[in-house]
Structure 1
Amino acid sequence: MARVPMDGATFDRSEYDRADQQFRLAGQKLPSVAVESLAREVVRRLAFRMPRTARKEDLPTQSEISLLCTALLSTDEDAADRIILAARRDGVDVDDIYLGYVAGAARRLGEMWEEDEISFVEVTLASGRLYRIIRGLRHVLASTFSDGRDERPALFALVPGEDHTLGIEIATDLFRREGWDVDMSLGQTHDALLEQSEKRSYRAIVLVAHSDRMIEPLTRLVLALRISQPLAHIVVAGNILNHHADIQHVVGADAVMEDIETAVETLRAEMDRPL
């Protein structure tokens, strides 16, 4: 059966497909313990999104949440998509879809996982489907995250666990001398970096890693940032590029910054690219 497309006015089909392919590729390229970490990250980040102003009558019932979870875990590839599409056609606000349906399903999946009602394979499948849905809705969800945030051009962040700081310091200094007003993050834990990033809305986020062992924390960080910064251009830099020829696709980045000589040009070109 052909897939039923969501409302083209609100749904980014190309990003939906890209997120789907990236999650599948990560499952093929990374060890199972890393894939489990990615699934937990998606579930945790989505589950913590709680409605602030939505009326109770606008939110889905527990039975509707259960129905969505069943769809996410089913062999029908598009069952969950059709539920979200039906809610949109019924006039459910996109914030209520995200904060009610998606976050509610993430919380329920997390509970089922903790209680051993579903397996690692099942929750990985479901979390990947949730992730591609919210990536498809990124344009209409953006205001949910950006309201009240300071707007900044870019954040240069060392991937948590990485301890080689010289490269990112040189790059940040280069951009600042070129007139860019950019932030830099060094030595932060994963959660602290996410907390810092959520205080501002960045047009671009450059993630720097060097060693091969950083592939899992880098991928997990990209997934988390995609949820909290849906419209940011995410770029990967550092010596880790030498270890993985397809790293851009494995971690789900928009671009890579291959060397310091072309760094400014690379980031400017990426930020000029329509999202």
Structure 2
Amino acid sequence: MPRTVRKEDLPTPSEIDLLCAALLSSDEQAADKIILSARRDGVTIDTIYLGYVAGAARQLGEMWEDDRVSFVEVTLASGRLYRVIRGLRHVVARTLGEDRQQYPALFALVPGETHTLSIEMATDLFRREGWEVDLAVGQSHDEIVQRSETHQYQAIVLVAHSDRMIEPLARMILALRISQPLAHVLVAGNILTHFPDIKDLVGADAVVKDIETATETVRTVLESDAS
């Protein structure tokens, strides 16, 4: 946590409960109103991001693990949290990127997925075209998140094939949105055939439909941000 955020400035558990309830409510703007109210009360951007947003993400994950919310509910809440993150990401960029060297891309196999051939082929393709691409295969959720916390990736491509990977994929994207707010998160693999609407379902920025168009897809996403 940056030195600018003091423990005593962090939101209380009841405030996190209130934000999670807003994220899960039928009111599309409820969570945004809480964040705006905190801003008006003088809460710093760092505290909002690392206290309110990260705290809500952590609690949503715990509620999911305890079966207090369904996959559909936590996905809806995560989508609303992504909107908050997108609104803050350029404001907090300087703080979160201070000690991180920038890297073009990370290709990561979703934890629990066993089919590695396609991600290894894609990584090799990108490298042959001159990209500096890191590869994460066989790593746990926490290991991938920790890796993202020490690097500033422009793009993170998550690869999954089985329909059973939808939940670990959604968990991974939510965690990466917190640790890597500036990164573009893309989804690739056969999971796209199981969930044609997966981009909206898990809150990804884009999907990579096949290996032939992979480099062009990632390049287009990065260029759209630069423009």
| Contact preservation (8 Å) 2:4, 2:46 | no
- The percentage of counterpart residues that share the same residue type is 62
* Structure 2 SS opposite 1:256: strand
**Aligned amino acid, residue 195 of structure 1:** Q
Count residues in correspondence. Answer: 219
Against the structure 1 CA distance between its residues 166 and 103, is the aligned structure 2 distance closer, same or farther, given a 3 Å change threshold?
Answer: closer
Q: Does 1:166 find its partner at 2:114?
A: no
Listed as ranges, the matches of 1:1-275 within 5 Å are 50=1, 52-55=3-6, 59=9, 62=12, 66-67=14-15, 69-70=17-18, 72-73=20-21, 77=27, 78-103=29-54, 120=69, 124=74, 128=78, 130=81, 132-274=83-225
**Aligned amino acid, residue 18 of structure 2:** T
Gap regions ≥5 residues in structure 2 = none
| Contact preservation (8 Å) 1:142, 1:229 | no
Cα distance in 1, alignment partners of residues 57 and 161 from structure 2: 32
* Structure 1 SS opposite 2:212: coil
Listed one character per residue, the Cα deviations across residues 219-242 of structure 1 (whole Å, up to 9, x for unaligned) are: 111111111111211111111112
Larger Rg: 1
* Structure 1 SS opposite 2:99: coil
| Contact preservation (8 Å) 1:51, 1:99 | no
| Contact preservation (8 Å) 2:160, 2:188 | yes
Cα distance in 1, alignment partners of residues 37 and 93 from structure 2: 21
Q: TM-score by structure 2 length?
A: 0.80
**Aligned amino acid, residue 264 of structure 1:** T
Listed one character per residue, the Cα deviations across residues 174-222 of structure 1 (whole Å, up to 9, x for unaligned) are: 1111001111111001111111121100000111111111111111111
**Aligned amino acid, residue 138 of structure 2:** G
Cα distance in 2, alignment partners of residues 178 and 270 from structure 1: 17
Cα distance in 2, alignment partners of residues 254 and 246 from structure 1: 12
Q: TM-score by structure 1 length?
A: 0.67
**Aligned amino acid, residue 175 of structure 1:** F
Higher relative contact order (CA 8 A, sep 6+): 1
**RMSD between aligned alpha carbons?**
3.2
